[in-house]
Chains A and B, each alone.
Chain A
């Protein structure tokens, strides 16, 4: 993840504060420049980066602050607080409830990894003993149902879909209804890839959400995405009630900084990350432990609580 990778870089930038004899505006500006450049190279949204810079500047008043130590601490604390904001929306993720149905709908841009991740999530719950299944509500992409079918067959996950029905809303409704009757606990709905520029696709997403009334909607984002992520993520959130984020393809070189803007734009936490094409290349993501790890990377642990 971007912040973990950035951790060292930023920590060393912050440490340079200790070497500076006087802490003044120039020192702060240099520090911010270094941190912001690192964030931008990792695709963090430029507006968020600018905001971070302004927030830190606004929080540090050189005239009012007394000793050097105080200034250093203030700067370090503020920078970390701002970094934490990038990954922590301050909301809790949906937690499925045993013994009843939990409908989880996947949405996202084309090719972001929804279908692959649907199977991973189903497999994850299945292995934990939940009664789990998958509904393929993508009738658009060529071979979409075959993809789900092959994945599910291999992992022995019950699935629902159709080669003949063309309306994904009908499939989603029928599939969810059938699985509810059969007492499934985790019912995952895979949907087509879509983007905000095409109204009809967004309308379709809303309809599926309206008829299936999912307990949670997961927005899937590819770790390599750049500056276009934010406006897409915001548009998804405005249309349907996105509650969680999954970042995929973190096994590559990409740090996922662009995808982080989805956290801010949807006000939703990251719940899992995808780390490969195989069904078990999937890791839980917990914001708070991640942050403590991030903070633990320097000698500044604990600063944030003060």
Chain B
């Protein structure tokens, strides 16, 4: 991609006129990698500001200047501003005698339930007991989907391996019920039965669907989960922006002013389906300023990773 800079001669100060056509190409490049157009625009503007006035030497000079400016900006964007250590936080909650709770939310079909099951697996491997709260009471088969995962996970980690205790249990009250109430009962149940973590599965919903967004906000407000994860798929294009803005807004509107019950982190799924079109990772972090806590890289329990910021940026610059 950096062949586009070959047109520039060395030994002069970069002007807006020099930079503009280059930035246009850069923007197209980012859009081609599935960065939302609006975000690609903003990124290019900020790169442009950093470039103008710079004195360029040889061709290599310009090329590496642009490359490093962009790389730096992107790596910085993808690097979490605050440390999120779920395992540590679970231990802390445990020591104060309460379960640690995580709520999963997002639009339809992005992978909430599947990745909830992967996180359950990861927690069990770390010897924590998990209660899954089946709060998708709408979509056909949603409860059975979680029950199947529970059976598989308990088969992989039978009580014999964990001092006789069953590692994962499903808390469900069937279909058509109020999700916020089920979550509340699940947390109660979890306190009484010494679970370490409660994972709350919610129904997929469109960010524009007000009644459903209100219902989600209520679930979050009533139950105040320790962590609210937004689940978004790496396949999503420009919609990433609208989804995150509106989920955040819906949750923020409902919460008490001082406790910021908004999206705490992102779970980026289907990362195995996009080759080098990794732009959604950029769009999502740019919009929220929140970290990508997990990356889903497949359909089995072990397909869960931490984000490799450098690898993402590398794919993006290719």
- State whether A226 and B236 are in contact (beta carbons under 8 Å apart), knowing that A110-B111, A142-B145, A253-B207 are contacts in the complex: yes
A104-122: contact bitstring with B at CB < 8 Å (1 yes, 0 no)? 0000011111000000000
- Bound state CA distance, A151 and B138, in angstroms? 11
- Bound state CA distance, A43 and B107, in angstroms? 18
B contact residues around A300 at 8 Å (CB): none
**Residues of chain B from 80 to 127 with CB closer than 8 A to chain A in the complex:** 107-111, 113-114, 117
Q: Say if the beta carbon of B237 comes within 8 Å of chain A.
A: yes
- Bound state CA distance, A269 and B31, in angstroms? 26
B contact residues around A197 at 8 Å (CB): 272-273, 275
- Bound state CA distance, A169 and B109, in angstroms? 24
Interface size class for chain A?
Answer: 35 or more
Query: How far apart are A273's CB and chain B's nearest CB, in angstroms?
Result: 14
Q: Are A46 and B238 in contact (CB under 8 A)?
A: no
- Bound state CA distance, A253 and B209, in angstroms? 10
Stretch of B33-41, B52-60, B64-72, B157-165 lying at the A interface: B33-41
Q: Say if the beta carbon of A284 comes within 8 Å of chain B.
A: no
Stretch of A70-78, A95-103, A227-235 lying at the B interface: A227-235
- State whether A226 and B237 are in contact (beta carbons under 8 Å apart), knowing that A40-B37, A146-B140 are contacts in the complex: yes
- Bound state CA distance, A145 and B280, in angstroms? 32
Q: Are A228 and B28 in contact (CB under 8 A)?
A: no
Q: Say if the beta carbon of B11 comes within 8 Å of chain A.
A: no
**Residues of chain B from 118 to 155 with CB closer than 8 A to chain A in the complex:** 138-149, 152
Known: A43-B239, A146-B144; 10 extra A-B contacts, CB below 8 A, are A41-B38, A111-B108, A111-B270, A143-B147, A147-B144, A148-B141, A196-B273, A224-B237, A226-B239, A228-B234
Interface set of A (CB-CB < 8 Å, partner B)? 37, 40-43, 46-47, 50, 109-113, 140-151, 154, 195-198, 222, 224-229, 231-232, 249, 251-254, 257-258, 277
Interface set of B (CB-CB < 8 Å, partner A)? 28, 31-34, 36-38, 107-111, 113-114, 117, 138-149, 152, 206-209, 233-240, 242-243, 246, 270, 272-275, 277, 279-280, 299
